[in-house]
Structure 1
Amino acid sequence: MLDSPYTDLERPPLSQAALTKAVVRPGSLWSRLAVVDRTGSTNADLAQEAGRGAGEGAVLIAELQEAGRGRLGRVWTAPPRAGLTFSVLLRPAVSPARQGWVTLLVGLAAASAVRRLAGVDVRLKWPNDLLVGERKLAGILAERVEDAVVVGMGLNVSLRPEELPVLTATSLTIENAECADRDPLIRAVLREIETHYRDWIAAGGDADASGLRAAYAAASATIGRQVRVDLPGGSVLEGLATGVDASGHLIVRADGADHALSVGDVVHVRSAKS
């Protein structure tokens, strides 16, 4: 894990009291919020709480995450206070067949908040990445714990080029964002998640009735692209990503047939128009 040369004036800590006052209120989705100096994994911590019966709406933010995980066992690292590393605990009362939308919903909410607040054109790579161009700004990991879903995100805010975990990553500072202040960013992201989540739940998890599928498609960097998808078991599917179905699965047209994919590591090959 990288140590940060920045002072608190340059990378100030988040205030648990201020954030709690801003987002935890009567009638809110968010029931409690905690900011910790460091932890192994915010997802693992909230998963333990979910297993003990914790209610919906817990938010855990870590200034430093020492054992962050992405999809497929990848490691997620960032210097202290250089990003937003947080997890939320949800208990979506919808059909399990529709719960695949949780990851996409959180990604859409975060992208919307960042575009509005930071003025950066953030797009969504199915199923769990936020991109600027083809460079990764954030990653999402959703994990089911009995009837709960814990969703974690790592969003690069003030990382410099030499601090990036991989060469294909980026940060809001690198992208000359209009806002790289973590406090208003996390407030905006949590509010967007709440708005999308409430609409989706009110529609019984129906991504069309809630407007979620249309909004996701409009923000997608994957739909309309030629893709290569590495599938579990080592097989590979290459074709045109044509959309996302009612369950949140990616539809890839290959060899004259449509394939609905619930998992897979997607590589964007080229634009459909190229």
Structure 2
Amino acid sequence: MIRTVAETGSTNADLLAEAGQGASEGVWLRAERQTGGRGRAGRAWTSPPGNLYASTIVRLRPGDPPAPTLALVAAVAAEGVASAYAGPGHLTIKWPNDIVAGPAKLAGILLERADDAVVIGIGVNLAHHPSDLDRPAISIAALSGAAPDPHPFLVELADAFAHWLGRWRGEGLGPVRARWLARAHPIGSALRTGGREGLFEGLTDEGALLIRYADGTNSIIRAGDVFLL
């Protein structure tokens, strides 16, 4: 079920509150405009009308893969739908769940948990992208010349997310991880995280980032900002 509101502070905050009141898995909330959108580490997320701002709820069950790997589920779903509009060859996934065109960010995903509920917020630059950030951004309109309507885009995204969630739940992380790697930047891509530069070596079986540094040491990154160089 998709519900749309003209304006709200944050679709994630709204669904976290609804989850605490018993809202079921599979509901989606879309806002035409957000006044308090958030990205990772509490960063503000610019929210002009015409872009996608939406959140959904997953209720964790016994036997599910680790909750943080839902970031990979959301990433492969969002990349697949966005690429159908942006055109082939434009988009890749940057760990763990940013959708980028080269160095420019097209979409971001934010997971927040309350008890057995994980709220997954997805923001996609469909019509507009900010130009005053400390890192580049891009929109589907800038890539393809046309901006998709947010509601049909979300209908497709909800279907794609349900597909990959079903595989994550029924088959484990393996198929999601394989799809993520197929759509990510290439092995050997230069990255920076935690003040150090290294090369992308793939993902662990649990979905953590593998980096190889110039001194030959390897590191497993489970959280933090990662920048493509």
Aligned to 1:180: 148
Aligned to 2:13: 44
The alignment covers a number of residue pairs equal to 226
- How far is 1:52 from its partner? 2.1
Correspondence 1:193-208 to 2 at 5 A: 193-203=161-171, 206-208=172-174
Deviations 1:118-172 (A, max 9, x none): 425221111121111211111110111111110001101111x6x5463611111
- Aligned partner of residue 142 in structure 2, secondary structure: coil
Aligned to 2:87: 119
Q: Separation in 1 of the partners of 2:72 and 2:32?
A: 25
Runs of 4 or more consecutive aligned structure 1 residues displaced over 6 Å after TM superposition: none
Deviations 1:19-51 (A, max 9, x none): xxxxxxxxxxxxx32100100010011011112
**AA matched with 2:45:** W
- Aligned partner of residue 173 in structure 1, secondary structure: helix
Q: Separation in 2 of the partners of 1:135 and 1:106?
A: 19
Correspondence 1:259-274 to 2 at 5 A: 259-269=219-229
Correspondence 1:214-229 to 2 at 5 A: 214-221=178-185, 223-229=187-193
Deviates more, 1:182-191 or 1:90-99: 90-99
> Which of 116, 127, 130 is equivalent to 2:99?
130
Deviates more, 1:56-65 or 1:46-55: 46-55
Q: Separation in 2 of the partners of 1:177 and 1:99?
A: 37
Aligned to 1:83: 51
- How far is 1:96 from its partner? 7.1
TM-score (norm 2): 0.91
What 5-or-longer segments of structure 1 have no aligned partner?
Answer: 1-31, 231-235, 270-274
TM-score (norm 1): 0.76
- Is structure 2 residue 204 aligned with structure 1 residue 245? yes
Q: 1:225 to 1:83 in 2, by over 3 A?
A: same
**AA matched with 2:27:** A
Deviates more, 1:129-138 or 1:111-120: 111-120
- How far is 1:95 from its partner? 5.1
Aligned to 1:56: 25
Aligned sequence identity (%): 36
CA RMSD, 1 decimal: 2.0
Aligned to 2:67: 99
- Is structure 2 residue 120 aligned with structure 1 residue 139? no
- Aligned partner of residue 119 in structure 2, secondary structure: strand
> Which of 73, 76, 79 is equivalent to 1:108?
76
Q: 1:225 to 1:152 in 2, by over 3 A?
A: same
Q: Separation in 2 of the partners of 1:113 and 1:177?
A: 17
